[in-house]
Amino acid sequence: MQARKGASARFCLLILTYFLAAAVLGVRVAPVAPAGDVLAAGVRVQPACADSPPAKLEAGWFPHRQAGAATGTEFGRKTTGWRGRDRQEAALSELRSGNIPDFLRILVPVRLSYKYRDGREINAVVWVTPDYLSIGSDEDFLRIPLTRPSAVSIASELNCVLPTRKIVDAIYEQADFHFRPMPMPPTQEMRSSRYYLRHNAMIEESRKGRPLGELLAGHKKDIVLTNKLQGRERIAIYGWHRQDGQPIQGLSTVHAARYADYSHGLRLVYGQVCVNGKMKSFYEVLQDPQLAPVLSYEGPIPRIMSLMKW
């Protein structure tokens, strides 16, 4: 009896320490259901490393979409002619209020691996949104390009992170459907809501007949994490893969941090990762020289926490 009480006390102390540490570090802790709680066939409300194949994950901590919230088309038309900064502020306001399609709230598992020269292997599972972050409903949504400040702010608030190039490549390889990239003329309009709406309509025409919730890839460049951003007010973009799996856009930090155009998309990655059967913080893994290669071609990103703040 005394042993059980002691174990219970130690567990409570551990939980308290975890939440205090999260508060000090500025990390928002997502509420989770009891371990192993299953929402529906193949979908969990808490990640479980034991699942094989890995289950999808319900992002129940995302704020609920309110009745009467703007559709994607309405948001795009409303912000037509707006300055970029004003559009970004409006987009963040919509996302923070929960104006996100329901299908993006079911995160999809993506597998990654890395083998050391001595034969040891690391296996990992990350959970990602099946498509790029969007404003609106399942029936009418707009994939919204974001600047780096906007991207890291909303990702952090939703207990998520940005992907690395390795994760972007893994998503493309494991996607249920691959788009053919659809570039538009590089004019002054490429940063406008009109371009956002036109490109979104092109994607939807290409997606016609495909169910919502499938893992999709090839239709946008990704905003990514890289050590090349350290100390620089730049945005890093990568991807837009061709049908042969090669990206149109190699890793680039040429644009200022507040730049966004129609070709950019934000893929959210859940802030916890399953590594060799154990749940770990994404931040912890990317800062660990032994574990980071499973998530990053660059190895560790030691200052990832500063890169995910603005």
Rounded CA separation 191/252 (Å): 18
pLDDT digits (tens, 9 = 90+) for 15-48: 444 444 444 344 443 433 333 455 566 798 888 8
pLDDT digits (tens, 9 = 90+) for 237-257: 999 888 887 888 889 999 999
Percentage of the chain beyond pLDDT 90 is 79
Exposed, middle or buried by CB within 10 Å (0-12, 13-18, 19+), for 269? buried
Do 243 and 127 touch, CB atoms closer than 8 A? no
Question: 291 in the Ramachandran plot: left (φ > 0), alpha (ψ -120 to 50) or beta?
Answer: alpha
Is the pLDDT at 6 greater than 70? The verdict is: no
Is the pLDDT at 297 greater than 80? The verdict is: yes
Average pLDDT score over residue span 222-239: 97
Helix (H, G, I), strand (E, B) or coil at 129: coil
Q: Which residue has the higher pLDDT, 52 or 182?
A: 182
Half-sphere exposure of 221 (CA within 13 A, CB side): 22
Is the pLDDT at 96 greater than 50? The verdict is: yes
Which residue is listed with tokens 């020269």? 117
Q: How far apart are the first and last CA of the chain?
A: 49
Confidence at residue 20, expressed as pLDDT on a 0 to 100 scale: 45
Average pLDDT score over residue span 74-79: 98
DSSP string computed for 97-119: TT---GGGGEEEEEEEEEE-TTS
The pTM score is 0.86
State both tokens at 229.
């951003």
Cα angle value 224/229/231 (rounded, 5°): 150
Confidence at residue 50, expressed as pLDDT on a 0 to 100 scale: 79
Other Cβ atoms within 10 Å of 57 Cβ, number: 24
Confidence at residue 17, expressed as pLDDT on a 0 to 100 scale: 45
Is the pLDDT at 100 greater than 70? The verdict is: yes
Is the pLDDT at 292 greater than 90? The verdict is: yes
Confidence at residue 23, expressed as pLDDT on a 0 to 100 scale: 44
Question: 128 in the Ramachandran plot: left (φ > 0), alpha (ψ -120 to 50) or beta?
Answer: beta
Is the pLDDT at 5 greater than 50? The verdict is: no
| Torsion 81-265-219-105 (CA) sign | negative
